[in-house]
Amino acid sequence: MASYDFRGPRLFVDAPLAQDARVPLDRDQSNYLGNVLRLAAGAEVLAFNGRDGEWQAAIDGRKRPDNLIILQQVRPQDRPADLAYVFAPLKHARLDYMVQKAIEMGAATLQPVLTRFTQASRVNTERMRANVVEAAEQCGILSIATVTEPVPLDRYLSQRPAERLLIFCDEAAELQSPIQSLQDARQTGQGIDVLIGPEGGFAEEERALLLRQPKILRLALGPRIMRADTAAVAALALVQAVLGDWGGSRD
């Protein structure tokens, strides 16, 4: 990643960004800038919307921050790797953690899937989206990942494009070098889906269904059993290092 100033405040705004544009702030943003950061009119922040790159902006408002005046672009919009993180939802804080880390690791899409042993019966996708934005703001990320609604695992498998590589992280898989396995599965331009199961693992009929999928790589993450949120970080790190954008270029 290019040199970047992480000390300056950074704000996601859902509005078009262009030089001299005036972008209204919502109540939470105004409170954050004025009361939490104690910034007054004229102070500068960084603004991004996931579409138009990142812009230097000045706070405008008499009594409190009401608007941003867009000054100049500091980074053009990038294109994230075509990487989807597919997962059985977790509960509360562990789901928050997993979403944040998946965004930091470069996931462009978050797809919850419901399996037999999924423990979380409800999934708050709005909370997931808020965590996506927060992680992007804090880590200098320009793109906002897509958060989709939960679907049963079998429905997800029947609807996903067959040409995409499905990396099925399975604790029951034969232990082999995950790096070598990923290198053997290298492909160009078709997209990657990384699947992590629930705390209780996959049911046998789910595993059988998965192994019948085209373009599937059954991957062991090592000799230890990991918690689902830990497995997310491990799997995405491996995929980004071997097949993703960590090498400085993308297929």
- Cβ neighbors of 117 (< 8 A, separation 6 or more) are 88, 197, 198, 199, 200, 201, 202, 203
pLDDT for position 173: 80
- ∠ Cα 155 181 243 (to 5°): 75
pLDDT for position 190: 82
The length of the chain, given as a count of residues: 251
**Residue 12 in 3-state DSSP?**
strand
pLDDT tens digits, 136-191 = 999 999 999 999 999 999 999 999 998 999 999 988 788 888 888 888 887 656 89
Q: Please name which of 249, 143, 222, 156 lies closest in space to residue 195, comparing C-alpha atoms.
A: 156
Does the pLDDT of residue 119 top 90, yes or no? no
Q: Please name which of 1, 30, 38, 35 lies closest in space to residue 13, comparing C-alpha atoms.
A: 30
- ∠ Cα 38 42 44 (to 5°): 75
**Count of alpha carbons within 13 angstroms of residue 36, beta-carbon side:** 8
First to last CA, the chain: 18
Can you tell me the mean pLDDT for 123-146?
95
Q: Dihedral of the CA atoms 168, 209, 99, 104 (nearest 10)?
A: 30
pLDDT tens digits, 30-88 = 999 999 999 999 999 999 999 999 999 999 988 889 999 999 999 999 988 899 999 99
Residue 161 burial (C-beta neighbours within 10 Å; 0-12, 13-18, 19+)? exposed
pLDDT for position 251: 44
Eight-class DSSP state of 210:
H
d(CA 227, CA 160): 26
pLDDT tens digits, 12-34 = 999 999 999 999 999 999 999 99
Domains of the chain (ranges; CATH) run 10-75 (2.40.240.20), 83-242 (3.40.1280.10)
pLDDT for position 120: 83
